[in-house]
């Protein structure tokens, strides 16, 4: 390959990499009128770091987005199969949402399976999936604090 061809190839790689790094078009999803979208699956189980589909879905569970500095907060209810989606406008940066926010399911697990605990919560950190769409890292059961 001639050196001019190599140079063109290098410039092409750099251009693609900078588009990916800046999140600029054409990689953006359709506009949905929100700065932050959180969507995912809540399992009806009391395990640790549970993945999507690792247990039956938790229907009608109230999922709250709680953040350290209250810069953004949201809430959604899961559908009949355990899926939820919430959209918020916020001035918080995406990195501060990823670090400072978590999902908390206040609805007791006993409401989807009477054999599961009636106290405690399911909680999960957030993972940036693409653009401004976050997904749960995996829900874990957190027993109530003893006091």
- Of the pair 87, 104, the CB lying nearest ligand NAG is at 87
Beta strand spans in 82-139 (E): 83-88, 101-105, 121-130, 133-136
Find the binder of ligand NAG among 39, 116, 129, 142 (CB under 6 A).
116
The span from the CA of 105 to the CA of 46, in Å, is 12
Nearest-approach distance from CB 75 to ligand NAG, in angstroms: 12
Taking contact as CB under 6 A, which single stretch among the options 3-11, 59-67, 75-83, 113-121 is the one that binds ligand NAG?
113-121
Q: How far apart are CA 96 and CA 20, in angstroms?
A: 20
Q: Which of 87, 104, 128, 142 binds ligand NAG (CB under 6 A)?
A: 87
Which residue in 38, 50, 88, 122 binds ligand NAG (CB under 6 A)? 88
Give residues with Cβ within 8 angstroms of 65, minimum separation 6.
38, 72, 73, 74, 75, 86, 88, 101, 102, 103
Minimum gap (Å) between residue 21 Cβ and ligand NAG = 25
* Tokens (6 digits) for 48: 């640790």
Residue 132, interface with ligand NAG (CB under 6 A)?
no
Q: Residue 121, SS3?
A: strand
Binding site for ligand NAG (CB under 6 A): 33-34, 46, 87-89, 115-117, 141, 143
């Amino acid at each position: 390959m001639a050196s001019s061809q190599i140079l063109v190839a290098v410039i092409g790689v750099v251009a693609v990499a900078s588009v990916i790094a800046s999140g600029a078009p054409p990689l953006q999803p359709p506009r949905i009128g929100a700065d932050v979208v959180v969507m995912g699956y809540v399992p009806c189980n009391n395990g640790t770091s549970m993945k999507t589909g690792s247990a039956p879905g938790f229907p009608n569970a109230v999922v709250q987005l709680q953040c350290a500095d209250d810069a953004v907060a949201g809430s959604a209810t899961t559908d009949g199969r355990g899926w939820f989606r919430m959209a918020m406008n916020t001035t918080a940066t995406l990195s501060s949402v990823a670090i400072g926010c978590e999902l908390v399911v206040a609805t007791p697990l006993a409401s989807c399976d009477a054999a599961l605990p009636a106290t405690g919560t399911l909680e999960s950190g957030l993972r940036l999936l693409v653009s401004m769409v976050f997904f749960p890292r995996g829900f874990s059961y957190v027993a109530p604090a003893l006091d």
